[in-house]
């Protein structure tokens, strides 16, 4: 007797299996013919995946688009300035309310684990308090991992260092940084060193905004890899964005990527936001704003797609849909072969789970019973359609049901249902 059975779904590897769930765990996989359950979801012909994971987000700023004004230049730097104005006037309650609304969007989209950077450059630390409250409020259905993020510079902002340490003392999970925003390259490198030492001393993971610029000489990822190696943080460090790598010298990159692989440093490109923000100082040719994704993967570096922003000072769109993120990443990185398209799906599920260090993630006996039923036949089709989430299960509970994405056609002579699903012949 199971609490819930997901019947007949196709797993991302193409196998067809029933999934038996008891409490918050997957307790059986395979053919569960005749088994009884309190609830059954028929997923015959549909893709059943472990939940989506977002390794890079800003939950303290989300859903604030237009407050107090929009980003006229569309640049990262104006966005930082705009957020600087907004964080003076936003209240803790408003941040909590917006973040919880976003978590509702995420839950409905099967996005059940989020790593969110929280700004620590505000002496009141109201954003940190707000996000800790949200982390607690959503813990029954979303795993929220918080990164202490000195947005205005760990050294450049006079109180950021103290405030970042205070945020970690308050229970923030991961150490962040923004070395390319410090006053000099030397200060940036020093900030990477000190922040990694703080993480090592506290037994925490590291995730830094790193080289988020079009400057080919911005090379903080080199320092981040060096410190990960020196402090034995392999597998616990991620560099977010890494956009400058698109313009680095090829010879230099041929040395850099093996160093990243050796240091076990993961990469988190954010294709929606960086195709929008980068290259704004270029005329033509105009750079694409994305780091070297396939080249890193070829070196064995873990790479996961992140969302970064939804309706905030940096990005005006977004729906908490990690398939939108994979879709954009697939295009900008030119990941067009079947293997590469398939990998883009993994990059918003299992690869991101690895970056967050999620334990008991996945579809296997003993794993946490969190999954999403998609209106698609396979992972590539899920990306192509940004497929409807027919059902979302979190920790054993069905938390969302959505309709199929089919349209009813009313053209004279050809009435009927339009199915966008289109299996490979
Ligand atoms: Fe970010």
Work out the pLDDT band at 425, boundaries 50, 70, 90.
low
| CA 57 / ligand 1 centre spacing (Å) | 6
The mean per-residue pLDDT over the stretch 22-31 comes to 98
Q: How many domains are contained in the chain? A: 2
CA of 336 to the centre of ligand 1 (A): 26
Last residue of a domain, one of 330, 356, 382: 356
Q: Token pair of 227, please?
A: 């410190």
User: Measuring CA to CA, which residue among 393, 301, 188 is closest to residue 196?
Assistant: 188
Residue 271 CA to ligand 1 centre (angstroms): 11
Domain identity same for 84 and 174: yes
Catalytic site residue 212? yes
Helix (H) or strand (E) holding 40: strand 37-42
CATH number at residue 228: 3.20.20.140
Residues 184-207, mean pLDDT to the nearest whole number: 98
User: Checking DSSP bridges between strand 143-149 and strand 174-175, what pairing results, if any?
Assistant: parallel
> From ligand 1's centre to the CA of 209, what distance in Å?
6
Distance 58 CA to ligand 1 centre (A): 6
Pairing assessment for the beta strands 143-149 and 111-119 based on DSSP bridges: parallel
Tell me how far the alpha carbon of residue 67 lies from the centroid of ligand 1, in angstroms.
18
Based on the domain organization, do 16 and 95 belong to the same domain?
A: no
Among 185, 176, 193, CA closest to 228: 193
The 3-state DSSP class for residue 145 equals strand
> What are residue 337's DSSP bridge partners?
none
Question: For residue 413, what pLDDT is reported?
Answer: 79
- Same structural domain for residues 329 and 243? yes
133-142 per-position pLDDT tens digit: 999 999 999 9
- Which pTM does this prediction carry? 0.97
Domain assignment of residue 376, given as a range: 2-50+362-410
Question: CATH number for the domain including 401?
Answer: 2.30.40.10
Ligand 1 center–CA 241 separation, angstroms: 8
Instruction: Compute, in angstroms, the gap from residue 36 CA to the centroid of ligand 1.
Output: 46
| C-beta separation of 50 from 353 below 8 A | yes
pLDDT tens per residue across span 86-123: 999 999 999 999 999 999 999 999 999 999 999 999 99
Identify whether the C-beta of residue 330 lies closer than 8 Å to the C-beta of residue 83: no
Q: Cα separation of 256 and 259, whole Å?
A: 5
Structure token pair of residue 49: 């995946």
Q: What's the distance, Cα to Cα, between the start and end of the chain in Å?
A: 39
How far apart CA 242 and CA 225 sit, in angstroms, is: 12
CB within 8 Å of 63: residues ≥ 6 apart: 98, 101, 102, 310, 311, 312
State the Rg of the chain over Cα: 22
Looking at 356, 371, 391, the residue that finishes a domain is: 356
Catalytic entry in 182, 212, 227, 351: 212
Determine phi and psi for 341, rounding to 5 degrees. -65, -45
pLDDT digits (tens, 9 = 90+) for 242-278: 999 999 999 999 999 999 999 999 999 999 999 999 9
């Amino acid at each position: 007797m199971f609490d819930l059975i997901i019947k007949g779904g196709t797993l991302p590897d193409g196998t067809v299996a029933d999934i038996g769930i008891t409490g918050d765990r997957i307790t059986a996989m395979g053919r569960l013919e005749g088994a009884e359950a309190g609830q059954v979801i028929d997923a015959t012909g549909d893709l059943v995946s472990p939940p989506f994971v977002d390794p890079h987000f800003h939950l303290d700023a989300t859903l604030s688009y237009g407050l107090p004004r929009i980003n006229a230049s569309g640049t990262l730097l104006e966005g930082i300035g705009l957020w600087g104005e907004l964080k003076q006037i936003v209240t803790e309650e408003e941040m909590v309310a917006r973040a919880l609304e976003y978590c509702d969007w995420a839950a409905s989209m099967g996005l059940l684990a989020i790593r969110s950077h929280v700004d620590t450059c505000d002496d009141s630390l109201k954003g940190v308090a707000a996000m800790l409250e949200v982390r607690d409020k959503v813990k029954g259905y979303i795993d929220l991992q918080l990164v202490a993020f000195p947005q205005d510079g760990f050294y450049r902002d006079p109180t950021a260092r103290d405030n970042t340490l205070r945020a970690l003392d308050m229970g923030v999970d991961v150490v962040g940084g923004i070395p390319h925003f410090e006053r000099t390259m030397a200060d940036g490198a020093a900030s990477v060193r000190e922040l990694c030492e703080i993480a090592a001393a506290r037994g925490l993971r590291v995730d830094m905004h790193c080289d988020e610029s079009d400057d080919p000489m911005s090379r903080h990822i080199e320092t981040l890899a060096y410190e990960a190696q020196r402090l034995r943080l392999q597998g616990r460090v991620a560099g977010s964005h890494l956009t400058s790598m698109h313009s680095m010298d090829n010879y230099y990159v041929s040395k850099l990527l093996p160093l990243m692989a050796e240091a076990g440093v993961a990469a988190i490109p954010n294709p929606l936001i960086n195709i929008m923000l980068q290259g704004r100082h270029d005329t033509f040719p105009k750079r694409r704003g994305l780091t070297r994704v396939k080249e890193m993967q070829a070196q064995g570096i873990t790479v996961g797609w992140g969302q970064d922003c939804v309706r905030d000072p940096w990005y005006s769109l977004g729906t908490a849909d990690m398939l939108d993120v994979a879709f954009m990443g697939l295009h900008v990185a030119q990941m067009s072969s079947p293997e590469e398209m398939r990998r883009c799906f993994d990059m918003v599920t299992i690869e991101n789970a690895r970056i967050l260090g999620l334990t008991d993630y996945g579809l296997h006996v003993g794993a946490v019973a969190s999954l999403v039923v998609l209106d698609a036949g396979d992972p590539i089709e899920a990306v192509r359609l940004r497929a409807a989430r027919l059902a979302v299960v979190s920790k054993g509970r069905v938390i969302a049901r959505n309709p199929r994405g089919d349209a009813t056609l009313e053209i004279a002579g050809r009435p009927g249902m339009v199915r966008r699903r289109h299996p490979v012949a």
